[in-house]
Chains A and B, each alone.
Chain A
Amino acid sequence: MMDMLRQYLSFPFVQYALVVGVLIALCSSLLGVTLVLKRFSFIGDGLSHVAFGAMAVAGVLHLTNDMLFVLPMTVLCAILLLRTGQNTKIKGDAAVAMISVGALAMGYLLLNLFSTSSNLSGDVCTTLFGSTSILTLTQAEVWLCVGLSSAVVVIFLLFYNKIFAVTFDEDFARACGTRVEAYNLLIAIVIAVIIVLAMNLVGSLLISALIIFPAMSAMRLFRSFRGVTVCSAALSVTCALLGILISILGGTPVGSTIVAVDIAAFLIFSVIAWLTRKAG
């Protein structure tokens, strides 16, 4: 088995997949805590559907690099959703539902009407569950992924303290003169970027799992914001690596394998938390 692994690892597309997978996993875990605690998870979910719709449009238009189309569309929707979400709660939720389900339906419809591919349901399945896309990245896409994820990590590090302040207590931050709206916008844009990136790894339906599971696991064991952030980043990277390797060796779909490993980690962390609480 080790030989087989070594042989696989010598293929460039496997190396790409590992590098990109690790970077995407790192990014997606960073904002997990903020997403969960700020009740932004609804935006994350809605955006992943928007990304699917945009992907379908890009497919129909035969764009060579569909990320260049999907990314601006998703960012735009992130801004729109944030704006409507701020008005009133119920209207915001309805807007998210409308946009996300609408994008899903239009995307599938477009694919059906215009697709020249002979394997339509296979294509749809790939977009939704990311079954092989991480293994078929072109070199340009790899570089785009590396660039975007580095940008996400740098932005997160630079604004770490402000993101904490805005997530923890928006009113206090506003009273201090922190430009809360600007930071919310920044967070929404970064989430949109992460979602488009993560689509390559796990497909649009499983993105939320990649973002939320590591944070939820880390929150079982750690009490500080920094501890949770560091732990969920490490955990997410580990799970992605494991998941990619398992899927290569076992021939399972990459996205769902990674999510399965994330779930396993969550269960393990929950048990450890339960044991330490019982012992303490």
Chain B
Amino acid sequence: MEQLQCKDLSLGYEGRAVLSGVNFSVSAGDYLCIVGENGSGKSTLMKTILGLMKPLGGTIRWGEGMRENEIGYLPQQTAVQKDFPATVWEIVLSGCQSRTGRRPFYSKAEKELARKNMERMGITAFARRCYRQLSGGQQQRVLLARALCATQKLLLLDEPVSGLDPKVTAEMYDLIQGLNREDVTIIMISHDISAALHFASHILHVGHDIFFGTVEAYQSSPMAKRFLDTEGGENA
């Protein structure tokens, strides 16, 4: 079942296009990795999909049964300021904000959902801790738990492993793969091309040329060859 379809999308800031002619679609259970150089417009694409900014042209179509607020989002950099006083519990629970509608307070079921997602991410022990006193990997798991409270269907992750050490990175990939196996669709921006090829089912390569297709098709494309020779060489 198709969840998201972007047709001839062009996007950018203040009328200046960063990317144009983006065509891709995502079906339930897909694992799409978005790759490309720094500044090629990956985060901008994600913000456009999320409706944080308007596309300059083209269309974004949501599939049957996808409401706009059924997306979980893990930002590249949280704008969280250094001294924000907030506990892990308060942050994870705020992922339920789209479920409350006009009701001012969180219901029992929503608190239960938050508790369950904290358990899923293995952060139950930190519930009462202050977010800013956690390590980078723990913070990412908190934000992932928050995103999971917002959705059961589609997660958009902007470089979820940047700044994490190899062990924590591997754990993070496992968590994400586990979620994907539970039928959560994943759209992930990544600079880790080898991990992308390993875990993803589809690749969207943005930049001067744009490629969209399955991992197998990508590996045999000339575009991947060029990219892998430069970026992949560094990572290997």
Q: How would you classify the secondary structure of chain A's contact residues: helix, strand, loop or mixed?
A: helix
Within 8 A of B (CB), among A221-264: 222-228
Asked if B100 and A161 sit within 8 Å, CB to CB, the answer is: yes
Asked if A222 and B79 sit within 8 Å, CB to CB, the answer is: no
- Residues of A near B90 (CB, < 8 A) are 164, 224-226
- Residues of A near B78 (CB, < 8 A) are 169, 172
- Residues of B near A165 (CB, < 8 A) are 94, 97
Within 8 A of B (CB), among A184-243: 219, 222-228
Asked if A225 and B68 sit within 8 Å, CB to CB, the answer is: no
Write out, one digit per residue, whether chain A residues 146-187 have a CB within 8 A of any chain B CB (1) or not (0).
Answer: 000000000001111110110011111111111000000000
Q: Is the interface on chain A under 10, 10 to 19, 20 to 34, or 35 or more residues? A: 20 to 34
Asked if B68 and A177 sit within 8 Å, CB to CB, the answer is: yes
How many angstroms from the CA of A228 to the CA of B67 in the assembled complex? Answer: 35
Write out, one digit per residue, whether chain B residues 43-76 have a CB within 8 A of any chain A CB (1) or not (0).
Answer: 0000100111000000000000001110101010
How many angstroms from the CA of A157 to the CA of B68 in the assembled complex? Answer: 27
Chain B contributes a number of interface residues (CB within 8 A of A) equal to 36
Q: How far is the CB of A156 from chain B (nearest CB, A)?
A: 11
- Residues of A near B87 (CB, < 8 A) are 223-225
How many angstroms from the CA of A33 to the CA of B94 in the assembled complex? Answer: 17
Asked if A175 and B94 sit within 8 Å, CB to CB, the answer is: no
Asked if A171 and B75 sit within 8 Å, CB to CB, the answer is: yes
Which of B51, B71, B79, B106 is close to A161, meaning CB atoms less than 8 Å apart?
B106
- Residues of A near B83 (CB, < 8 A) are 37, 219
Of A33, A162, A172, A226, most buried by chain B (CB within 10 Å of CB) is A172
How many angstroms from the CA of A37 to the CA of B90 in the assembled complex? Answer: 16
- Residues of B near A178 (CB, < 8 A) are 97-98
Q: What is the chain A residue whose CB lies nearest that of B91?
A: A168
15 extra interface residue pairs, beta carbon distance < 8 Å, beyond A161-B94, A164-B90, A175-B69 = A37-B81, A161-B104, A168-B91, A169-B79, A171-B47, A171-B73, A171-B75, A173-B97, A175-B51, A176-B95, A177-B68, A219-B83, A223-B85, A226-B90, A228-B85
User: Can you name 25 A-B pairs with beta carbons within 8 Å?
Assistant: A37-B83, A160-B104, A161-B100, A161-B104, A161-B105, A162-B97, A164-B94, A165-B97, A169-B79, A169-B80, A172-B78, A174-B50, A174-B52, A175-B51, A175-B71, A175-B73, A176-B69, A177-B69, A177-B98, A178-B97, A219-B85, A223-B133, A224-B87, A226-B90, A228-B85
Of all A-B residue pairs in the complex, the 7 with the closest CB atoms, nearest first, are: A177-B69, A223-B130, A176-B98, A224-B87, A175-B73, A175-B50, A228-B85
